[in-house]
Amino acid sequence: MTSSDSGAAPPSRATNDLDDAVSVFLRHRGRLFGIAYRVLGSVTEAEDVVQEVWLRWQKTDRSVVDNPMAFLSTAATRLAINVAQSARVRRESYIGTWLPEPVDTSADPEVGAERAEAVELALLLVLERLNPTERAAYVLREAFDYGYAEIADMLRLNSANVRKIVSRARRHLLDEAREPVDTAEHRRLLDAFVAAARTGDVASLEALLTPDAVSLSDGNGIRGCARVPVLSAAHVAKLSSRRLLWHDAETETVTVNGLPGTLVSREGRPVALLTVVASKDGIHQVLWVFNPDKIAAFLGSRSRGTAALG
């Protein structure tokens, strides 16, 4: 019996072509999100970039694209740079400290698959000090190992200029760097910090912190959230042990941008996301996310996977 006899029409060439387009896009989607997220420091904005890349991929004459991954990565990079340029203006009106939007890399391992340290919150925060093009060049080279010539094509620059940009960014970041501890020690320090903070043990907290420790709280004006960096072990310990934060709180161990973190909830409602940055000398940065939109984005990243294509 023929297909016409059965009443079922054969798949059209357009249908097969779209199926191929979806297959290719989904194959590279994790990398596209990873590039955009590292450039932007925002789950929400990175998702918007990925969606726009998909729309462009649909409209492109794909028969003339020799290297789909290069095409898609270039589109994601250029779009992310454009968004970053406008985001910088928006963040000037942000109330208090702005921290990158955290992502759960245990639920979405593709995000941290390429040189995982390049997705850590502390590094993303330092990357914000670079202009968007410098940030993109560094991310493409250090996180995804693109060649200088490839990056030059993607950014419409020459290779020599890209080398200078990446070298300058690398030096800038090295000035901020301290030798990190391994994941097990990081987990131990964070657990000890949370235990001491919950019981109000200020002395134990100070012992875990370096003398020059700093606490950064991102709440965008939320009540009770510090709007400026809190400096010194004594002040950070006092702030972190506030009874108001820990009263009737439950804690959950999570993975925040490749490192251990703690989700603090009250009556089943998440109120804070905590992670720390540590070296062999102790904890030198305490990062608090109180902004409910960013906490929601973190929780949403657990089910990000292959989001629906529109």
- In whole angstroms, give the CA distance from residue 36 to residue 61: 23
Q: Which of 8-17, 54-63, 176-185, 220-229 has the lowest mean pLDDT?
A: 8-17
What pLDDT does residue 308 have? 43
- In whole angstroms, give the CA distance from residue 310 to residue 50: 11
Mean pLDDT to the nearest integer, 204-210 = 97
**Looking at the predicted structure, is the pLDDT value of residue 243 above 80?**
yes
Burial of 116 per CB tally in 10 Å (0-12, 13-18, 19+): middle
Mean pLDDT to the nearest integer, 215-233 = 92
Contact 221, 95 (CB under 8 A): yes
Show the tokens assigned to 160: 């020599």
- In whole angstroms, give the CA distance from residue 31 to residue 200: 43
**Looking at the predicted structure, is the pLDDT value of residue 7 above 90?**
no
pLDDT digits (tens, 9 = 90+) for 75-86: 999 999 999 988
pLDDT digits (tens, 9 = 90+) for 276-290: 999 999 999 999 999
Q: What integer best gives the mean pLDDT of the chain?
A: 87
